[in-house]
Structure 1
Amino acid sequence: MMESKQTHIHIEKIKLLYMHSFIPIILSAVAGLFLVAALWKLADRQHLLIWFGITLLLALVRIVIISRFKQTNPQGRKVLQWESPYAISLLLVFLSWSAGLIWIMPRDNLTAIFILNTFSLGLAGAAISWYSPLRYLQMASVSLALVPMIVVLLTLGYEQTFWVGIAACCMYVSCIITSMLLQKTFNGNLELAYDLEKAKMSAEDMARTDALTGLNNRRAFFDKARLLFDYCKSNQQPVSALMLDVDHFKNINDSFGHASGDLALSCLAELLKNNLRESDVLCRFGGEEFAVLLPNTLVAEAEDIANHLKRTMMNSTIVLAQENLLSLTASFGVSDIGDNLEDLLSHADKAMYMAKNNGRNHVMKYPSD
């Protein structure tokens, strides 16, 4: 069963972030190394090495988190539990860049200042690209990359840095607009993918479900029952089949109309579902005929189940149109004889017709005693 659309989309966004995060981690470490090289002769080297060490440590932490996610391979709502580790580690990375660049910045060297500003802009551009699935992470990362640098540039007291700060403000506004547009497109694509997948699942479900009763149709029954039959045989467990056919169903249609006949079949399907085990495979086999595969069930137990269903049907009343009341009876056949599913069902079907020939509203087994 699929989650709600919004939950499903949020899960897909988290999975996308984890799938595509190794490359930005590596690029961030490489960028840090280049920055250290660029400022080696312009800034305090001890500060540079401490900052670079913190950057590498956080990169390692993120690699561990992402590796654990891929090894665990969570599915469905379990993916949501991995959002916080990702978000916290990412924001710590951008905080280390943001605070670190301000910390290592020599205030009296315009060359170093402009180098750091260039790296801040590059960091913001990377955030827009790599972290677009979750907008709050995208904008938080961009803000950490740009806002502190903008404040410093505007308050350093140099005319050159002031105008660069204004340009950085424009860049920040551009990032906000770009983020909104990307998020709209991104959400639209994920919503379309969700709708298509849901439509596909609905179509597949319709192809395997009886439209009137909501039970398995013959195709779905044979797919499920064959697997269960083979499992029971390979594990030397008993397996039985039960077939039932509603007695005098044509008279119901003739007397009350086909709509009442359909209602009777729907009510019978609900009765059968409520009185069978979860492990049993039930289907509308055709017309007013139903089939059940009973795993781990001896034929004597199948007889007991059939008799219980027969009594429950006789004691149940269906209210038709114009307050007409209807009680159904059925002829039942059970069998545990058959080397394959088809033979087993054929023998149960023969037993069912023996019940019909024996006056209806009976339970017979194959082979008969």
Structure 2
Amino acid sequence: MAVVSSTDLLSQVVTVMFAVGLAGSAIPTYTAHRQITWLGMGLALSPMSLWLLFQPQPLQKVVGLACLIFLVTASLGARRLSAALVDAFRLTHELERANRLAEAAAMTDVLTGLSNRRAFLDHAEQMLRYAVRHHRPMCAVMMDIDWFKRVNDTYGHRVGDDVLTQVAEVLRTRVRGSDICGRIGGEEFAMLLPDASVQDACRLADEVRSHVEQLNFASPDGRSFRITASFGVSVLRPWMGEDIGILLHSADEALYQAKAGGRNRVDVALPASP
């Protein structure tokens, strides 16, 4: 309004086209904010349009009216575009959230909240490759609840689920943040302990064993009972080309030794010499 000539129709039309361009640029720039879009378009185009409507020449009035019509139609279009963009943002966010929940559900044991077998093995493979590459110690611990079938047969599966849940909570509170813990079978759990010696692994397993032994459970008829668990520990032997399957198998063999030796104990699969 400060630079436009009040007598030169060509300069007025050029200024109007410039204002139309400014108003149109507000649509893609502020689409996600409907009120700011309308404000930007109005500030860019309405002063010149209103000024032209009050000029004496009919052509000036037509140009001003055309600008106002453009402003109204563009505002309606911007409203629809803004609503569509907001809906797209919301749907994208909901889809990403649903994907995250689905991915977490696929990697989590529903009952205990620990990693399921698939997630445990995936993480374990990555951890083993890191340990071998950087020559870091690592141990595996296999755990099995003693006489768990007897618990299910005697007290029912609901009580059995409570046993699994409380045992999982003991594991969750005892392991370190860098450790991997998962339920890999019915009553069988596994732990992978990076940067841990055999002594560290045995100490942790014995702590978990002691806490599990102290748990109290109630049967449907009100009687209380306790459970025990057996543990097998194995140590990574990179010079033998071990993979995660061999490491867990060694821990599983030590677990069977613990069960054969009377249960409620920790046994170690001794490593072979390099």
Using the TM superposition, give the Cα deviation of residue 140 of structure 1 relative to its aligned residue in structure 2, in angstroms. 3.4
Q: Contact conserved, 1:337 with 1:343, CA < 8 A, in 2?
A: no
Matches within 5 A, 1:1-369: 102-156=1-55, 158-319=57-218, 321=220, 323-338=222-237, 339-367=242-270
Q: Contact conserved, 2:137 with 2:236, CA < 8 A, in 1?
A: no
Distance 1:318 1:187 in 2: 52
Greater relative contact order (Cα < 8 A, sep 6+): 2
Q: Secondary structure at the match of 1:197?
A: helix
Using the TM superposition, give the Cα deviation of residue 340 of structure 1 relative to its aligned residue in structure 2, in angstroms. 2.1
Aligned length in residues: 267
Distance 1:137 1:277 in 2: 51
Post-superposition Cα deviations, 1:269-326, rounded to whole Å, max 9, x if no partner, equal 1221111111000110101000000000001110000111111112222345554434
Higher helix share goes to which structure?
Answer: 1
Q: Contact conserved, 2:141 with 2:205, CA < 8 A, in 1?
A: yes
Partner of 1:93: none
Using the TM superposition, give the Cα deviation of residue 149 of structure 1 relative to its aligned residue in structure 2, in angstroms. 2.0
Residue identity in the other structure for 2:129: D
Q: Secondary structure at the match of 1:104?
A: coil
Distance 1:305 1:350 in 2: 19
Distance 1:320 1:122 in 2: 78
CA, structure 1 residues 104+229, in 2 after alignment: closer, same or farther (shift >3 Å)?
Answer: same
Post-superposition Cα deviations, 1:241-269, rounded to whole Å, max 9, x if no partner, equal 01100011011101111111112111211
Q: Which has the higher mean CA deviation after the structures are superposed, 165-174 or 176-185?
A: 165-174
Distance 1:118 1:249 in 2: 82
Where structure 2 has 5 or more consecutive residues not aligned to the other structure, the ranges are none
Residue identity in the other structure for 2:115: N
Post-superposition Cα deviations, 1:126-149, rounded to whole Å, max 9, x if no partner, equal 332454234344333322321232
Calculate the TM-score normalised by the size of structure 1.
0.67
CA, structure 1 residues 250+133, in 2 after alignment: closer, same or farther (shift >3 Å)?
Answer: same
Where structure 1 has 5 or more consecutive residues not aligned to the other structure, the ranges are 1-101
CA, structure 1 residues 365+124, in 2 after alignment: closer, same or farther (shift >3 Å)?
Answer: same
Q: Secondary structure at the match of 1:274?
A: helix
Residue identity in the other structure for 1:365: V
Residue identity in the other structure for 2:145: V
Post-superposition Cα deviations, 1:177-236, rounded to whole Å, max 9, x if no partner, equal 112111122222232233333333322222222122121111111111111112122212
Distance 2:225 2:60 in 1: 90
Distance 2:253 2:260 in 1: 11
Q: Secondary structure at the match of 1:212?
A: coil
Residue identity in the other structure for 1:221: F
Residue identity in the other structure for 2:175: L
Distance 2:93 2:222 in 1: 45
Residue identity in the other structure for 2:66: A
What RMSD, in angstroms, separates the aligned Cα atoms of the two structures? Answer: 2.1
